[in-house]
Structure 1
Amino acid sequence: MTARIDPRSLTRELLRYNTINPPGMERACARHLGGLLESAGFAVKYHEFAESRTSLVAEIGGDDDRPPICFTGHIDVVPLGAAPWSHDAFAGETEGDKLYGRGSTDMKSGIAALVAAAIELAPQLAKGPGLVVVITAGEEVGCEGARFLADHKLLPRAGAIVVAEPTANYPYIGHKGLAWFEIETTGVTAHGSMPEVGDNAILKMAKVIGDLEHFEFPVHSHAVMGKPTMNVGTIHGGLNTNSVPDRAKITVDTRTVPGIDHVHLCHSIEALLAPRGAHVRKIVDTAPLYTEPSNEWVQQVFETCTPLLDGRPTPKTITFSTDGADLKRGFGGPPAVILGPGEPTLAHQTDEWCSMTRIEQSVDLFKTLMLRWK
């Protein structure tokens, strides 16, 4: 085996790269990871969907009989927020078992664990079906990097996918889809003292929101994921208090389950709101990710994770969306699980941290899954 990389130290290295999205600027971080993988014998390719928005695809091994297994993660992170941090967000400071920093949980610790496992096993992986490592840019805003790789057919083969997002090392078999909509109403401005002369766009929007409260999804529930949801997330409108507003706008977050087509969903919302004269535009579109829990490889993942958990995992899906849906499409539909060391409840929070013990556990989990893929 090659020399072992300390995944905790690698997490700290990755945290020092400011990859807050927007703007992202993931190139330097991607190149650093690519260099490590290339030194271990991986063939590395870089792909940019925009200037400095760099994803990488690294491959080792491979044969004609069985496609390789894929491990993946994203290197962009969300903004710090308004609240002050008690730890430097980019220094990788530690306190006890906690490693602090923006992206420590979501998800640079997961990337560090999968890269450390891949490099340690590189000589063995070179002789079998092999491994594909996909590190993406732009996940936090619409999965742009993964979608670019899938749309432009830049992905090789893969027989299974491990998405190393934060799950506290519990294997999840998917997540709901994500469709965001921007809805706009228009009117005619007038003096606030003469509202009858104008046409109030905000009052129209109030009726739109009332209509959305009664919207019914075409699929009411899923056996594992539960019910689809809709949330009005933002509202903007009006020029000033003493004018009739001629424009109002909301954004709507829907989370969908298998069986709901997002194009059809958009048409259904448009039909519902047509009497209000509202304009509907889909602004983010990520499909659901789901693998049947009876899948043989999923059961193998459950078995591998059992010693670290209170018992054998039961089929569950995670609340957030991931690159996994686009990558699964790009790879032709292999089974996928979401499994990583980060704490899911700490993602995007002030003073985000990850357990260093879980990072080490993830390396062992990932190594086992890589070696069992034969």
Structure 2
Amino acid sequence: MSLDVLSLTRELVAVDTIGHGESDALAVVAPRLENAGFTVEIIEHEPGRGTLVADWHTGLDTPPLCLSGHVDTVPLGGAPWQHDPFRAEPDGDRLYGRGTSDMKGGVAAIVAAASKLAATRPRRAGLRLVLTAAEETGSAGARAAADRLRGRPAGPLVITEPTGNAVLHGHKGALWLSALAGGVTAHGSMPHLGDNAVYKLARAVGRLETYAFDAEPHAVMGAPTLNVGTFHGGLNTNSVPDSAEATIDIRTVAGQDHGSVLASLAERVGDEVRLSPLVDLPPVWTDPADEWAASVAEIAREITGSQDSEPRAASYFTDASVLTPALGGVPTVICGPGEAEQAHVTDEWVSLRKLAESVAILERVCVAWCGL
């Protein structure tokens, strides 16, 4: 069975999955996978927000190769689009629409490659597809599927997030925190009767500007980072605020423990503020010398014609933060047709050439692992 990756990408983009409706997008691909011979299960972590797990010959002696991508997308933004975000209009080599790069194009490549290969019979191993919901807001869909995946035999993992079809060997972790300060309200003309939560939070956040991580920069990922993204306090001008909250975005590197980072930051901000995690996704890293990871990188270079052999990592997080440990710490690479710079932007696009390349890469990787 052969599916056209361009048509499938367009069908997926036409389904609005901005923070909802992932099950509707999965309804586009589930029948095709079932017709190709996959056993399909959809796990909803909330109504209408499903994650698909599809198995094909997963009972062989060698554990199955896992291919994964997410079908949720981010809001369109306030700027007007020149191309309809849900029509996926081709223009030359570019296919425009929300999710074309991040990452319905990568999901379409997975389904197209897997469906084609399902017409054959593996000698060595099968395939497992995990197409997730709610990745953009902290991988809730992957978490919902993780319990079903733990304990099952599992081979390596490919995440088709946007990389321009380059192979990345990992990504930074994401630890997002809420910093909450409390106080006592009073009339703004009598501040001595209150306890100002904004002052408390401001003092704490100010200490973070010069915070230094107790971690050496990673050879490929670089250094961990910290950014205070929001700061809110009070309800009106003429009252002493009794509550204030900031949010903090920390990107960690391989070797850092999030529990230790949180403890260090709590000590830094002091007792006036309470820190609590909003998103807690660890970094992911596979040694580029790993035999399987090296073979995938070589396949990608051959198909794309790239001469770049330097190991690379992503600054963004992926569902690998959840799936890689759930699968037992398997070797993991990130390689997909989208462009990282197109993620979340107005008039997002993906290259038609790179969509075709992605299918070819995935086919070769699957053939090598499955023994087709």
Which band: TM-score by shorter chain? over 0.9
Between stretches 217-226 and 131-140, larger displacement belongs to 217-226
Alpha-carbon shift at residue 13 of structure 1 (Å): 0.4
Task: Provide the residue aligned with 2:103 in structure 1.
Answer: 107
Task: Provide the residue aligned with 2:190 in structure 1.
Answer: 194
Task: Provide the residue aligned with 1:248 in structure 2.
Answer: 244
Kept in 2: contact 1:233–1:250 (CA 8 A): yes
- Matched residue type, 1:74: H
Task: Provide the residue aligned with 1:10 in structure 2.
Answer: 8
Looking at structure 1, the residues matched to 148 and 35 of structure 2 have their Cα atoms a distance apart, in angstroms, of 27
Task: Provide the residue aligned with 1:184 in structure 2.
Answer: 180
- Matched residue type, 2:128: V
Looking at structure 2, the residues matched to 47 and 253 of structure 1 have their Cα atoms a distance apart, in angstroms, of 29
- Which of 5, 22, 25 matches 1:26? 22
What is the TM-score with the length of structure 2 in the denominator?
0.95
Gapped regions of structure 1 (runs ≥ 5)? none
- Which of 292, 295, 298 matches 2:293? 298
Looking at structure 2, the residues matched to 125 and 85 of structure 1 have their Cα atoms a distance apart, in angstroms, of 45
Kept in 2: contact 1:305–1:312 (CA 8 A): no
* 1:172 counterpart = 2:143: no
Please tell me the root mean square deviation across aligned C-alpha atoms, in Å: 1.6
Gapped regions of structure 2 (runs ≥ 5)? none
Looking at structure 1, the residues matched to 299 and 288 of structure 2 have their Cα atoms a distance apart, in angstroms, of 15
Q: Do the aligned partners of residues 145 and 235 (structure 1) sit closer, same or farther apart at CA in structure 2, a change above 3 Å counting?
A: same
Task: Provide the residue aligned with 2:276 in structure 1.
Answer: 281
- Which of 42, 47, 66 matches 2:43? 47
Between stretches 30-39 and 160-169, larger displacement belongs to 30-39
What is the TM-score with the length of structure 1 in the denominator?
0.94
After superposition, what is the alpha-carbon deviation per residue over 1:129-150, rounded to whole angstroms, capped at 9, x for unaligned? 0111111111111100111211
Q: What aligned pairs does 1:317-356 form with structure 2 within 5 A after superposition?
A: 317-356=313-352
Looking at structure 2, the residues matched to 282 and 225 of structure 1 have their Cα atoms a distance apart, in angstroms, of 23
- Matched residue type, 1:20: I
Alpha-carbon shift at residue 303 of structure 1 (Å): 0.9
* 1:211 counterpart = 2:171: no
* 1:38 counterpart = 2:37: no
Alpha-carbon shift at residue 52 of structure 1 (Å): 1.4
Q: Which runs of 4+ in 1 moved over 6 A?
A: none
Alpha-carbon shift at residue 189 of structure 1 (Å): 2.4
- Identity among equivalent positions (%) equals 45
Alpha-carbon shift at residue 197 of structure 1 (Å): 3.2
- Which of 138, 141, 149 matches 1:142? 138
| 3-state SS of 1:329 partner | helix
Alpha-carbon shift at residue 271 of structure 1 (Å): 2.3
Task: Provide the residue aligned with 2:91 in structure 1.
Answer: 95
Alpha-carbon shift at residue 217 of structure 1 (Å): 2.2
Looking at structure 1, the residues matched to 209 and 308 of structure 2 have their Cα atoms a distance apart, in angstroms, of 39
Looking at structure 2, the residues matched to 42 and 340 of structure 1 have their Cα atoms a distance apart, in angstroms, of 22
Alpha-carbon shift at residue 309 of structure 1 (Å): 4.2
Task: Provide the residue aligned with 1:121 in structure 2.
Answer: 117
Looking at structure 2, the residues matched to 16 and 155 of structure 1 have their Cα atoms a distance apart, in angstroms, of 36
Kept in 1: contact 2:60–2:124 (CA 8 A): no
Between stretches 26-35 and 229-238, larger displacement belongs to 26-35
| 3-state SS of 1:233 partner | strand
Alpha-carbon shift at residue 264 of structure 1 (Å): 2.4
Looking at structure 2, the residues matched to 127 and 372 of structure 1 have their Cα atoms a distance apart, in angstroms, of 11
Between stretches 246-255 and 194-203, larger displacement belongs to 194-203
